[in-house]
Amino acid sequence: MDETVYEALGKYVDSLSNSLHLGTALGRVYLEGEPLTPANVRLSFFFSGKSIEVSSLWGRKKHGALYLKGSPKVRVLHGRVEMVFLTGKGRVTVLLKADRGFAKVLLNTALQCREGVSSLRVRG
């Protein structure tokens, strides 16, 4: 495994102990419309006081990892949730399969965020 995978795993463990776990959902992450993750990857969501953190680790033979932190714009579209983070690398879109309850949690939490530009680390 490379540095990004270890960093994402470390951020995930840190988030478990220092942040509020919002939930987990299946989804996909895109950077400027290009996929960053495989389809239906498990994404974990945390609230760290000023921002939402998204973590994911995947793969058995070819490992991948994602860590995203910031203040997203959130929309609910027919049982799917769209979260848009603006990063220095471009527009990151997270599309999720989420029930109404989890969608509402993400909407309400995003309103509490005050972080500026989002950050993104990805490998895979």
pTM here is: 0.84
Lowest mean pLDDT among 10-19, 28-37, 84-93: 10-19
CATH architecture type of domain 3-123: Roll (2.30)
Q: What is the pLDDT of residues 66-119, one digit of tens each?
A: 999 999 999 998 879 999 999 989 999 999 998 889 999 999 999 988 876 788
Domain boundaries along the sequence of the chain: 3-123
- pLDDT(2) > 80: no
- At 53, the amino acid letter reads E
C-alpha–C-alpha distance, residues 64 and 37, integer Å: 8
